[in-house]
Chain A
Amino acid sequence: MTLGVSNISCVRGHKPLFAPVSFSLQAGQALHVEGDNGVGKTSLLRIICGLSPADAGEVLWNGKALNRLHPEAVEAFRATLCYMGHNLSLKDELTALENLLFDAQVAGRSLSHDTAMDALRKMGLNTRAHLPLRVLSQGQKRRTALARLSVTDAKLWVLDEPFVALDAQSLDSLCVLLASHVQQGGMLLYTSHQAVALSQPHGPAVDIRPLRLVGA
């Protein structure tokens, strides 16, 4: 599994946002995309997922350009991808549990009731699992969104600002989760203004490669 990005640039209002970006990500690697506010970190992540088209350059999945893949290959890519953007993709009127279950089914994954409850428990939400999301705090909503990560079998995780609005304990749980994902052969791409260490308890830290976006 390789994710390759070759000379990607993104244009907004006739001007390129950031200088052309290239990198390659293999299984078991983590990449931290950093840059000033407004430089285009979110835009880059959306281009990598295939939501937005790049104005120049290519995104390569296992060596083949993403926008020229056959439909089955595109399906396979999407099955391997888990993207979390700024908005949490959660419904306020549904409970945390319902959100997780529906989310998995829409993504074509099967998820049992017990596994979902387990994931919510790991995020400290077991008492809140049956309440509509709108009565939860912002941090609790974020934890619900992140519970998605522990039940997915996606190998490529693309996360936009995952550490925002988390308390210290949740931050630790998330770092452990991300570390275990990478150390089991997954790929991780994330943006963040904070520097975090990803390591499992009493384990080695994951080697995080930085990628700095600079304005064009």
Chain B
Amino acid sequence: MNMFRANFWLHYAGPQAFYGLAGRLWPWCAALAVALGVWGLWLGFMVAPADAQQGEGYRIIFVHVPASWMSMVIYMAMAFWSVLGLTFNTRLSGMMTRALAPTGAMFAFLSLWTGALWGKPMWGTWWVWDARLTSELILFFLYLGYIALTSAIDDQRRGDRAGALIAIVGAINVPIIYFSVKWWNTLHQGASVSLTKSPSMAQVMLWGMLLMAMCFWLYTIALVLYRVRTTILQRESHTAWVQTIVQEAA
């Protein structure tokens, strides 16, 4: 099928077709994630030189920064699927958003903890109320709110739509939170990696972080696809094609 035709995408919007596609994709993503992860960690922990001021402890940024990026990217992805779901009323959108949420929450949590572990030896404190940390904490609460709301509503379709609305409202709120807290108190270092300016850190460190970021991204894709497959089987359990699969597995 030609990839540039609309019905290529519409075909995969159906749970059964997506189940097959996801099944073929996720092992590759997982393998690639492992490969990139090994490479990235090797660069970060073995190859990159010790920092002039922070010594060896700074190496945690190879996990911390990609985790922060992913926590934000995943939330944007949730908002994207939510908009899609509310506009086109597809069942798959709700499933994708629900599948993304736990991983996003995990990355937000990881980002907060690795930040604290980095902060203690570097600046002598586990926590500080600056713009980025506070916004990340609020983002973590947004994830928890989404997961709590969708878990509490019994009717799956209503849960999907309610979750979609809160995901979209939260997405609008994230920049507002960021700027409000930034105005309030700023301590975090300025952006070291920017699309427009050249980075102010060594090439190797940059490569390490980018590789880890791609590793996390592929890990997310693999895990989300796997999770969606399980959700599809649960939700479509009354259809013939699922019952065939269940019988074959038994």
Tell me the A residues contacting B by CB distance below 8 Å: 14-15
How far apart sit A147 and B168, CA to CA, in the bound complex (Å)? 43
The secondary structure that dominates the B interface is loop
The residues in B between 202 and 250 inclusive whose CB is less than 8 angstroms from any CB of A are 237-238
Min C-beta distance of A73 to chain B, whole Å: 20
Residues of chain B within 8 A of A14, CB atoms compared: 237-238
Q: Smallest distance from the beta carbon of A67 to chain B beta carbons, Å?
A: 10
Q: Give Cα A57 to B171, complex, Å.
A: 34
The answer for the CA separation of A14 and B234 in the assembled complex, in Å, is: 10
Complex: chain A residue closest to B161, CB-CB? A53
Minimum C-beta distance from B232 to chain A (A): 13
Which residues of chain B come closer than 8 Å to A15, judged between CB atoms? Answer: 238
A14–B238 alpha-carbon span in the complex (Å) = 7
Inter-chain CA distance A15–B237, complex, in Å, is 11
Q: A residues within 8 A CB of B237? A: 14
Closest to B235 in A: A14
3 residue pairs from A and B, CB less than 8 Å apart: A14-B237, A14-B238, A15-B238
Leading 3 A-B pairs by shortest Cβ distance: A14-B238, A14-B237, A15-B238
Nearest CB of chain A from residue B161's CB, rounded to whole Å: 10
Q: Bound complex: CA of A14 vs CA of B237, how far in Å?
A: 8
List chain A residues, Cβ under 8 A from B238.
Answer: 14-15
A102 to B238, CA, bound (A): 46
> Which residue in chain A gives the minimum CB-CB distance to B238?
A14
The minimal Cβ–Cβ distance linking B242 to chain A, given in whole angstroms, is 11
Closest chain-B Cβ to A54's Cβ sits at a distance in Å of: 12
State A15–B238 Cα separation when bound (angstroms): 8
* B:6-58 near A, CB below 8 Å: none
How close is B213's CB to chain A, nearest CB, in angstroms? 40
| Cβ distance A215 to chain B, nearest Cβ, rounded Å | 16
Q: Considering only CB atoms, which chain B residue lies closest to A14 in the complex?
A: B238
Report A92 CB to chain B, min CB distance, Å.
Answer: 28
A59 to chain B, nearest CB (A): 16
Q: What distance in Å separates the Cβ of A52 from its nearest Cβ neighbour in chain B? A: 10
In the complex, which residue of chain B has the Cβ closest to the Cβ of A12?
A: B155
Chain A nearest CB from B220 CB (Å) reads 29
Bound-complex Cα distance A15 to B239 (A): 11
Closest Cβ of chain B to A200, distance in Å, is 43
Considering the chains assembled together, what is the distance between the CA atoms of A208 and B65 in angstroms? 71
Q: Which residue of B lies closest to A55 (CB)?
A: B157
CA distance A186 to B238 in the complex (A): 41
Nearest CB of chain A from residue B158's CB, rounded to whole Å: 10
Query: CA separation between A194 and B238, bound complex, in Å?
Result: 36
Q: Please report the C-alpha to C-alpha distance between residue A61 and residue B129 in the assembled complex, in whole angstroms.
A: 57
Shortest Cβ gap from A126 to chain B (Å):
43
Q: How far is the CB of A58 from chain B (nearest CB, A)?
A: 14
**Distance of A59 Cα from B133 Cα, bound (Å):** 51
Within the complex, the shortest CB–CB distance from A62 to chain B, in Å, comes to 24
A77 CB → nearest B CB, Å: 20
Query: Shortest beta-carbon distance, B62 to chain A, in Å?
Result: 45
CB distance from B137 to the nearest CB of A (A): 37
How many Å from the CB of A102 to the closest CB on chain B?
A: 29
Separation of A14 and B242 alpha carbons in the complex (Å): 13
Nearest chain A CB to B141 CB, angstrom units: 31
Query: In the bound complex, how far is the Cα of B157 from the Cα of A14, in angstroms?
Result: 11
- How far in angstroms is the closest Cβ of chain A from B240? 14
User: B164 to chain A: closest CB distance in Å?
Assistant: 15
* Nearest Cβ on chain A to B169's Cβ, whole angstroms: 22
